Amino acid sequence: MVNEELAVGAPYEDNNRGAVYIYSSDGEGHLGNPIQRLAARDSYDLLKGFGISISPHNVDIDGNGCPDIAIGAYLSGHAVIYRGKPVVKWNVRNPEPHPKSITHNATHFSLKFACVTYLGENATNIL
């Protein structure tokens, strides 16, 4: 099973300012504690009722191939869009060292750089 995320709105939390809690499944469908809290007070000072409505799962508003989330704040007549970004896993390794001495009259030398590979859905869109 794939890890899924669930957004739960709490529009009356923080004196009606509101918040949204993001939960992630463990791959077996079980949810633990929230992995993130999106609070109205951290987004825009005038938001009220934030979290009353949440966009459907897997909506790509900005077309970058990653799901975005729109959250409504009905008591202030606003909505906030959180844009998703690709998650990239990096693997960096250095080539085997071949120590050499540089003489005092050398005019140049060369270096080998690290080899980098990356993996991630839509990673090529940002690299």
Amino acid 55: pLDDT: 93
Residue 82 has pLDDT above 70, yes or no: yes
Strand partners, 5: 24
8 A C-beta contact, residue 47 and residue 78:
yes
Query: What is the model's pLDDT at position 26?
Result: 80
What rounded mean pLDDT belongs to the chain?
Answer: 83
Neighbours of 9 (CB within 10 A): 20
Distance set, CA 24 to CA 5, 6, 62, 95 (Å): 4, 6, 23, 38
Token output for 109: 């030398």
Asked if residue 4 has pLDDT above 50, the reply is yes
| Average pLDDT over every residue of 73-99 | 81
Q: What pLDDT digit, counting tens, does each position of 10-53 carry?
A: 999 999 999 999 998 887 778 889 999 999 999 888 999 999 99
16 vs 116: which has the higher pLDDT: 16
